Amino acid sequence: MTLGAPEPRLWSAYRELTEKAVFTDLTHAFRPGQPLAARVERDPDSTPTLDDVASWEQRNGPVPSGSFVALRTG
């Protein structure tokens, strides 16, 4: 790109999308996970249950309001 040349469309689209965006650093926002790997090895169709949530809460305290469950499917 030369000085004074028009900006590539991709760059201008990126700027439009990000200039009003709010970026939040989530580096320290996540709590310890509830590994289900051993159970999934025995049963690949295994899913998280309310008992898993209760077990996690016993060790880590209540799940904070507004939280979500992330499931890595590999």
Q: For 19-74, how does the pLDDT look when each residue is reduced to its tens digit (9 = 90+)?
A: 888 887 776 666 666 677 778 888 888 888 899 889 888 988 888 888 777 777 66
At 47, which helix (H) or strand (E)?
none
Residue 48 contacts by C-beta under 8 Å, 6 or more apart in sequence? 34, 36, 69, 71
Residue 69 contacts by C-beta under 8 Å, 6 or more apart in sequence? 48
At 3, which helix (H) or strand (E)?
none
Cα-based distances in Å from 42 to 36, 46, 50: 10, 9, 19
Predicted TM-score (pTM) above 0.85: no
Kindly state the tokens that stand for 63: 């799940």
